[in-house]
Every structure is written in C-alpha cells, then in structure tokens.
C-alpha cells in the first residue's frame, strides 16, 4: 500500500496549503467539540490571519472567548444559524476555506425530530454550498460520520444527503469553482454528549448504563482528527470522501477501561442505533483507493475525474467496526488519556 500521500505525524507540519485570497477560514460549529479542535489547530499551527467561529448559542461563544487560548487576535466569533442563508453569506465574505462541522448529531434526538435534523443537516448544507459558491470560497471540507453509511437512523440519512449534496456541488463547480471534499470518521473521543463523558459521569455513581456489551464503535482522537482534516486539504481532489482507517472497540471494553469497578446495567439499543458501524459500504468498494492509513472514496458521478494513485480494494470490501482491529481495555485507556487531552473541552 503506497504511503506517499499519508499525512505528516501529529507533531509534523500541519500548515494550510496555499489558498487564494487572504487565507481566511470559516468554521461552522466553531464552538462545538470538533470546531474547537479545529480553531486550536488553526491558531496554533497554521499562522492563519483570520478565522471565524460560526454557531448559534451566544453562551457557547462567550465561554469560548473566556479561554486564554482563544483570546487570539485572529479569532472572530459570529453568532449565526446555517439555516439562515443571508447570515451565512455575510459570514463567507472574504473567506478562502470553510470547515463545516455544524450539525444536529444526536441519534435519538434526530430520530424524534427528523424535520429539524433535515433543516440543519440538509437545508443548512444547501445554504452553505450556495453561499460558498457566491462568495468565491476556494475549498470546503465537511465532516461526515460512519452513520451515513447504509443509514438506519435519521441522523445518518441526513449526513448521507449532506455528502451527496457536496459531491454533486463539486461536480457543478468544474475546474475553477469551489472545491468540496468530505471527511467521514467515527466517534471523536470525548466529544460533547458522546458515550465517553456519559460513562465518566456514571462512574461516580458506580453504575454504567450500557446499550449492548457487544456493540462496537470506531474511535478517533482529536489529534488524529486534525491530521485527517489536514490530509484532506493537502490531498483532496474534489468530490472525494476521505476515511481514516480507525480502530474500534466493544462497548463493554470501553466500560471496563473507564470504570472497571462499576456495575453494568444493559439497557438495549436506542431507536436508530446499529450494533456495528461501517465506515464504507460494499457498494462504494469499486470507487475506493487505499493508502496506508486511510481510504479515499472517489466520486461516483458520471464524468467525475478519478484519481489513479492508491490501491484498489477487493470487490465487496467494507470497513466494519466488528471486523477491524478491536482495541483492548489497556489500549482504550491509552487512547482515552491521549484523546481527552487533545480535545480539552
């Protein structure tokens, strides 16, 4: 497997590639778990001159701006909703790069409020594409999820739509227009509202409430996530989905890693939850190029330019969380300590 396209190590050079304009960056969902990681990277490692954190809740902006590391002259906070196309257009003025993380992401909440999930994750993406094009933004990189692969939940279905909208938008852009790429990944260690902070909180009561012990999930640390975004920026050809080859772990292993002394109550999967996730589907296999640490799913639209580097994968290939490298309890503990440090929110 070729590795010439693999990203630098986390401590390596993660500066932005040359971008037209003054290199200003807009991070939608800039006050969220992923958004904060991206802001920290942009401010600490790239020398960016202007970065805008865009999201709705003023309290999250207030809290962000209270933190010393975010009291940076390049950082601007902007209250706005991606459902509001006029506000998005204002946010995109003079922007070279958009990192799109804003989303509704909780499976049960999206399941109970599909029309709201549609408005944010689908309609918000349509607004984002139009605003980026009209503002002459050079690059857009959007965050997707394993739940978009053969989706069984509303959240996954809306993120699949987001992917398809961006891939088609890239096709429409041609050589000169905005380039749209996607990073599809598994669970970010320690992200807000995820199972890890929930287990951490339950640990103090001595009882962990576990959906299903055999359930498996992919994991990515904050530092790996930043490197993956950087890789898309360096290597993305447009209309592509980058998929890091992530390890996974069983939920009972995660519970053991966090609270070995705690009792376990099995509560069963919630509506829309799968036992195992997949980062790629068999239908995508013919379009996948494999590199040492990641896969690239090339666009499937007629007339798309397809990259020729990387290895092909076998017919029917799928990257599933129960068939990949499963982390041991010790490995999960190590990942938790490195991952939560990188996230730091």
Ligand X SMILES: NC(=O)c1ccc[n+]([C@@H]2O[C@H](COP(=O)([O-])OP(=O)(O)OC[C@H]3O[C@@H](n4cnc5c(N)ncnc54)[C@H](OP(=O)(O)O)[C@@H]3O)[C@@H](O)[C@H]2O)c1
As annotated, the active-site residues are 147
Q: Residues 15 to 44: which contact ligand X by CB under 6 A?
A: 28-29, 31-35
Q: Should residue 196 be labelled a site residue for ligand X when binding is judged by CB under 6 A?
A: no
Q: Should residue 55 be labelled a site residue for ligand X when binding is judged by CB under 6 A?
A: yes
Q: Should residue 76 be labelled a site residue for ligand X when binding is judged by CB under 6 A?
A: no
Q: Residues 248 to 267: which contact ligand X by CB under 6 A?
A: none
> Which residues have C-beta within 8 Å of that of residue 4, sequence separation ≥ 6?
309
59 backbone dihedrals φ, ψ, rounded to 5°: -65, -40
Do residues 42 and 51 lie in contact, with contact meaning Cβ atoms separated by under 8 Å? Answer: yes
The rounded Cα 325 to chain-centroid distance in angstroms is 21
Q: How far apart are CA 28 and CA 131, in angstroms?
A: 13
Query: For 320, which DSSP code?
Result: B
Which stretch, 17-25, 182-190, 196-204, 297-305, contacts ligand X (CB under 6 A)?
Answer: 182-190
Q: Should residue 170 be labelled a site residue for ligand X when binding is judged by CB under 6 A?
A: no
Nearer to ligand X, 243 or 285 (CB): 243
Q: Residue 96, exposed/middle/buried by CB under 10 A (0-12, 13-18, 19+)?
A: buried
Q: How far apart are CA 49 and CA 94, in angstroms?
A: 12
**Residue from 7, 23, 25, 60 binding ligand X (CB under 6 A):** 60
**Residue from 48, 52, 64, 105 binding ligand X (CB under 6 A):** 105
Do residues 142 and 182 lie in contact, with contact meaning Cβ atoms separated by under 8 Å? Answer: yes
Q: How far apart are CA 197 and CA 129, in angstroms?
A: 33
Do residues 129 and 169 lie in contact, with contact meaning Cβ atoms separated by under 8 Å? Answer: yes
Q: Should residue 81 be labelled a site residue for ligand X when binding is judged by CB under 6 A?
A: yes
Q: Should residue 178 be labelled a site residue for ligand X when binding is judged by CB under 6 A?
A: no
Do residues 301 and 294 lie in contact, with contact meaning Cβ atoms separated by under 8 Å? Answer: no
The number of residues that bind ligand X (CB under 6 A) is: 29
The region that residue 29 occupies, defined by phi over 0 for left and psi between -120 and 50 for alpha, beta otherwise, is left
Q: Should residue 113 be labelled a site residue for ligand X when binding is judged by CB under 6 A?
A: no
Q: How far is the CB of 35 from ligand X (least distance, A)?
A: 5
**Residue from 107, 188, 246, 297 binding ligand X (CB under 6 A):** 188
Q: How far is the CB of 7 from ligand X (least distance, A)?
A: 18
Binding mask 136-165 for ligand X (x = CB under 6 A): -------x-x-------------x------
Q: Should residue 187 be labelled a site residue for ligand X when binding is judged by CB under 6 A?
A: yes
Binding site for ligand X (CB under 6 A): 28-29, 31-35, 55-57, 60, 81-83, 101-103, 105, 120, 124, 143, 145, 159, 185, 187-188, 191-192, 194
């Amino acid at each position: 497997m070729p590795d010439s396209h693999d990203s630098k190590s986390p401590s390596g050079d993660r500066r932005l590639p040359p971008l037209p304009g003054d290199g200003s960056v807009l991070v939608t969902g800039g006050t969220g778990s992923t958004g904060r990681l991206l802001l920290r990277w942009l401010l600490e490692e790239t020398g960016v001159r202007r970065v805008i954190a865009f999201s709705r809740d003023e309290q999250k902006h207030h809290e962000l701006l209270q933190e010393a590391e975010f009291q940076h002259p390049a950082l601007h906070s902007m209250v706005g909703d991606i459902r509001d196309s006029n506000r998005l257009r204002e946010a995109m003025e003079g922007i070279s790069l958009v990192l799109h993380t804003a989303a509704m992401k909780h499976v049960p909440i999206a399941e109970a409020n599909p029309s709201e999930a549609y408005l944010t994750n689908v309609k918000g993406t349509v607004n984002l594409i139009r605003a980026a094009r009209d503002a002459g933004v050079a690059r857009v990189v959007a965050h997707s999820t394993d739940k978009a692969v053969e989706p069984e939940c509303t959240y996954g279905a809306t993120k699949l739509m987001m992917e398809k909208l961006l891939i088609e938008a890239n096709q429409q852009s041609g050589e000169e227009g905005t380039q749209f790429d996607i990073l599809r990944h598994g669970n970010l260690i320690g992200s807000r509202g995820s199972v890890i902070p929930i287990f951490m909180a339950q640990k103090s009561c001595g009882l962990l409430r576990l959906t299903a012990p055999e359930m498996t999930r992919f994991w990515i640390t904050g530092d790996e996530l930043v490197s993956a975004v950087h890789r898309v920026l360096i290597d993305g050809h447009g209309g592509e989905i980058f998929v890091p080859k992530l390890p996974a772990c069983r939920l009972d292993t995660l519970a053991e890693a966090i609270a070995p002394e705690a009792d376990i109550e099995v509560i069963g999967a919630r509506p829309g939850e799968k036992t195992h996730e997949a980062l790629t589907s068999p239908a995508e296999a013919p379009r996948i190029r494999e590199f040492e640490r990641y896969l690239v799913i090339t666009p499937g639209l007629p007339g798309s330019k397809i990259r020729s580097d990387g290895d092909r994968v076998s017919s029917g290939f799928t990257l599933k969380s129960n068939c990949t490298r499963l982390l041991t309890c010790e490995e999960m503990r190590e990942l938790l300590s490195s991952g939560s440090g990188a996230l730091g929110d």
